[in-house]
Amino acid sequence: MDLPGLIHDFLLVFLGLGLILGGLGVVLLANPIYSAFSLGLVFVCISLFYILSNSHFVAAAQLLIYVGAINVLIIFAVMFIMVQNIPKISSLDRGRWSNFRDSHGTDYLDYKANQIIEQDLISNSQQIGIHLSKIFYSV
């Protein structure tokens, strides 16, 4: 970006502080969710540094790959690991669910699923491949 020197310097200082505070947040925060959000702040600040240095494609890749994929993956992993206070399903509730399931027509779905399984498992594209391979190998 072609910015005046004072604005460019201000943005560099602001992004540098964002990087330092985000890095400290990643290391010092006890809650892994907050730590992952701090890591997202660090990734965003890095991509803004790339924008300031006229590397727009690298900045877009940084945002898409690191913030959009890796940071979201970290947050989901932490959310799955930190499962707490989930009520257990009692055997009485399981019985109610199976009675509901059995009384609302899932037998028909089981019948249809068995029909699908009993059909010929070779699709049209597989039959074409078999035919072409017979022609190819017979030559």
pLDDT per residue as tens digits for the range 76-135: 888 888 766 556 655 555 555 555 555 555 665 555 555 555 556 667 787 788 888 887
Contacting residues for 79 by C-beta, under 8 A, at least 6 apart: 33
pLDDT higher for 18 or 68? Answer: 18
What pLDDT does 120 receive? 61
The residue with tokens 């799955």 is: 80
Same domain, 63 and 7: yes
Angle of CA points 58, 25, 39, to nearest 5°: 25
What pLDDT does 43 receive? 93
Same domain, 60 and 40: yes
What pLDDT does 4 receive? 84
Same domain, 73 and 10: yes
For residue 15, what pLDDT band results from cuts at 50, 70 and 90?
Answer: very high
Q: Is the whole model's pTM more than 0.85, yes or no?
A: no
Domain enclosing residue 66, as ranges: 3-85
What pLDDT does 134 receive? 82
Same domain, 75 and 105: no
